[in-house]
Each structure stands twice: as structure tokens, then as C-alpha cells.
Amino acid sequence: MSVNLLDFNATTLAGFCADIGEKPFRAKQLLRWIHRFGESDFSLMSELAKGLREKLSETAVIEPPRLISDHTAADGTRKWLLSVGGGNGIETVFIPEISRGTLCVSSQVGCALACDFCSTGRQGFNRNLTVAEIIGQLWWANKALAEAPEGGSASSRTERVITNVVMMGMGEPLANFENVVTALDLMLDDNAYGLSRRRVTVSTSGLVPALDRLRERCPVALAVSLHAPNDALRDRLVPINRKYPLRELLAACKRYLQAAPRDFITFEYVMLDGINDSPAHARELIQLTADIPCKFNLIPFNPFPNSGYERSPRDVISRFRDLLMAAGLVTTVRKTRGDDIDAACGQLAGKVLDRTRRSSRGLPGSVK
Ligand code: SAH
Ligand code: SF4
């Protein structure tokens, strides 16, 4: 059976080259062709000897997930739906801003952690994405974004339009640890996507042991989905808190920063009307995070059918932000982008065939 070269990082690709009797520098050339130039046809890799191209086509493929659709929202946000087989689909979103372009990448089909306010969490879990399916999202986006925009000129094949990656699409990245870190290797590799460590963010709901492993293996920027200032409320909103309560999570955040001393943690906090958005919650949050270098990102709740939650009103969000800022915490309110194409946080639904049958069992931990 052919191997899929999109599953390999620089190290494993060098191993593959050795296996087929090629020198290690071939791995670098291959990485560049595959990821930088987005080439999936060995016969077009002109710099490689004909014999090698033939050998590659006999033993290997470059197979990204199949593209199903490509939509652009009124605000320029672009969303790709990719098929990962078995009736499952995943979504990837590109958010263009003046000085950067951020790609929001998925790590699993669905998510088993069942946060109550999250549309992915409500759909249950099917499986982890492979490395090829994770990095395949960058591969497609890179290729599509390098094509000529309407009325504009094509950007050069090597110009990097994607300047930042956030692992904030479907799924819990740290629950798919090995595949996610191999994909992170490629994001950081100069022969592939060449992003700096601080421009790649893993967002986690708080899998403490995996956080420690990430710190050792690949300490990229870290976002932690806090969403509540105490265990009683967080147990309900983010059920993994029952296993790794706030005290343990915050201790892991501090350990993480020891590996990257000049960094900070971004705490994400979804604003749910009447649930976690009072001034008392803000004050509790300030105390909780007092000794951690951090920033806050408030995310106005993005509604989806039958969620049972409402977004906090604008003035409530502003008051919450002002309280955090007055305590010296850098706080931003996330702009809701791409919601006309359902590309906003927590609205990424993809298509999940739930194998946990959670949806038929009723929802654990719901706050009604
Ligand atoms: N599983 C990871 C990353 C994916 S979700 C995590 O939980 O961190 C990215 C962010 O969107 C998380 O902070 C998540 O809690 C938030 N989110 C989920 N559903 C949302 C919704 N409906 N509205 C706003 N934010 C949501
Ligand atoms: Fe999973 Fe993150 Fe959604 Fe929670 S918020 S269910 S961890 S994707």
C-alpha cells in the first residue's frame, strides 16, 4: 500500500527517504514541493531526478482530504469544508485582517469533551484526524489563497498569506496529541509553512497531562478555555473540569510558562447571558488568575439551534471587560466574524457521525 507523504514531518520523511535509498536532503526538497508549492503530482516536481519521481509514484501518494466546498463571507472570512471519508466532514476557516491572516484548524471529527455551549461538543465524537487531515487543511488553504483573487494579481507561490494558525476549529487538539504535534512540526518547519512558535496557538479546554507533554515537546502559544471562575460553574460548562479542576489546570499553566518564560497564557471566556457574565464573576476571575502572566479573550457566545443559551448583551460584555482591564489584565473582545456562513467560534459543525451516541443519550452537564 502507498504511504501518504502528508502524514510525515521532516524527521519521518527523512526516514522514508532512507528506506527507499535516498539521501536526507531529498526530504527537504520533498517538503518544499509538497507544502510550500502545494504540489501533489510527483511527475511535476521538476527538480527531482526522473528515476526518483517514478520510485515515489510507485510507493507513495500526496493525498489531502477531498475539498467539498469553499465559501467566502461578506467580511472576507473564508471557509472550506473537507471530506474525511465515512460521511464525515471537517471545516477550516481563514480570517483575513490588515496585518495578518489567521487559519483556524480542526483536530478531530466532533469532540468527546461535551462542553455544553459548543456545537461541536453537542454533536459527539467520531475520530481523531490524521496528520494528513490536519496539515491538509493548511495545504488546501495555502493553495487556495495563493490563487488570484478576483480582479487582483496572483500572489507568488512562496508568499505566505497564512501568518498565524489557531487550533480552534472542531475538536480538542490535546486529545489527539501525537498527530497534532506532528502537524505542529510542519507548521513551524521552514521548508513547509515556516511559522514562528508564537504564531501557532493550541487551544485546550484543559487536559492537564497533555499540557505538560506539549510544554516538553513543542511549546507553542497556549490558549486555555476557562469560561468560568470557579469549579462549581466550570464543572457544568466544561465537564473535563471534573477530572482536572481549576487548581490543577492553573498550576499546569504556570508550569507551561516556565518552558516559555516571556510568553503569556490567553484565557478564553465565552460570554453567556446570565450564566458567567456578572461583575462578581469578573472579580472572582481576577483573583483566580492573579499570579499568572495572561491575557483575556472574551468570546461573545455564538448561538446555534437548541443551544439553550443566549449571548450576553453588549453592555454586559463591556462592563466585564472594563473590570478585568481595571485590574491590569489585557482583555480583548473577539469580533464575531464570518457568522453569515456559520464560521464563527463554536458554530463549526462539519458533519459528524457520532460514535459515542451521546446525542441519543441526552446531554451530560447541561445548564438549563
Ligand atoms: N477544544 C478546544 C478548541 C476548539 S474551540 C477548546 O475548547 O479550547 C475554540 C474556542 O471556541 C474555545 O474557547 C471554545 O470554548 C469556544 N466556543 C465553543 N463553542 C462556542 C460558542 N458557541 N460560542 C463562542 N465560543 C465557543
Ligand atoms: Fe470540545 Fe472545545 Fe467544544 Fe469543549 S469547546 S466540546 S473541548 S471543541
Verify whether ligand 2 is closer than 6 Å to residue 206 (CB atom): no
Over residues 195-216, the mean pLDDT reads: 97
Return mean pLDDT, the chain: 90
Q: Which atom of ligand 1 is nearest to the CA of 167?
A: 3
pTM: 0.92
Q: Which ligand is nearest to the CA of 268?
A: 1
Of 104, 106, 120, 129, best ligand 2 pocket probe by most atoms within 8 Å of the beta carbon? 120
Verify whether ligand 2 is closer than 6 Å to residue 27 (CB atom): no
Length of the chain: 368
Protein residue with least CA distance to atom 6, ligand 2: 121
Of 170, 345, 363, best ligand 1 pocket probe by most atoms within 8 Å of the beta carbon? 345
Of 115, 174, 227, best ligand 2 pocket probe by most atoms within 8 Å of the beta carbon? 115
pLDDT at res. 65: 96
Grid cell 478564553 in the structure block, residue: 268
Q: Is 345 a catalytic residue?
A: yes
Over residues 271-286, the mean pLDDT reads: 98
pLDDT at res. 143: 92
Calculate how far, in angstroms, residue 229's C-alpha sits from the geometric centre of ligand 1. Answer: 16
What whole-number percentage of the chain has pLDDT above 70?
A: 88
pLDDT at res. 146: 86
Of the candidates 76, 53, 50, 46, the residue with the CA atom closest to the CA atom of residue 5: 53
Verify whether ligand 2 is closer than 6 Å to residue 115 (CB atom): yes
Q: Maximum Cα–Cα distance for the chain, whole Å? A: 69
Calculate how far, in angstroms, residue 206's C-alpha sits from the geometric centre of ligand 2. Answer: 10
Over residues 5-21, the mean pLDDT reads: 96
Task: Using the predicted structure, report yes or no on whether residue 153 has a pLDDT greater than 60.
Answer: no
Task: Using the predicted structure, report yes or no on whether residue 84 has a pLDDT greater than 50.
Answer: yes
What is the rounded CA–CA span in Å between residue 30 and residue 42?
9
Pocket of ligand 1 (CB under 6 A): 115, 117-119, 168, 172, 203-205, 225, 268, 270, 299, 301-302, 345-346
298 neighbors 330 (Cβ within 8 angstroms): no
Task: Using the predicted structure, report yes or no on whether residue 151 has a pLDDT greater than 50.
Answer: no
Q: Is 118 a catalytic residue?
A: no
Catalytic residue among 22, 91, 172, 268: 91
Calculate how far, in angstroms, residue 5's C-alpha sits from the geometric centre of ligand 1. Answer: 31
Calculate how far, in angstroms, residue 343's C-alpha sits from the geometric centre of ligand 1. Answer: 12
pLDDT at res. 148: 52
What whole-number percentage of the chain has pLDDT above 90?
A: 78
Q: Which ligand is nearest to the CA of 347?
A: 1
Task: Using the predicted structure, report yes or no on whether residue 365 has a pLDDT greater than 70.
Answer: no
Over residues 253-273, the mean pLDDT reads: 93
Protein residue with least CA distance to atom 18, ligand 1: 346
Task: Give residue-wise pLDDT tens across range 161-201.
Answer: 899 999 999 999 999 999 999 999 999 999 999 999 999 99
Task: Using the predicted structure, report yes or no on whether residue 318 has a pLDDT greater than 80.
Answer: yes
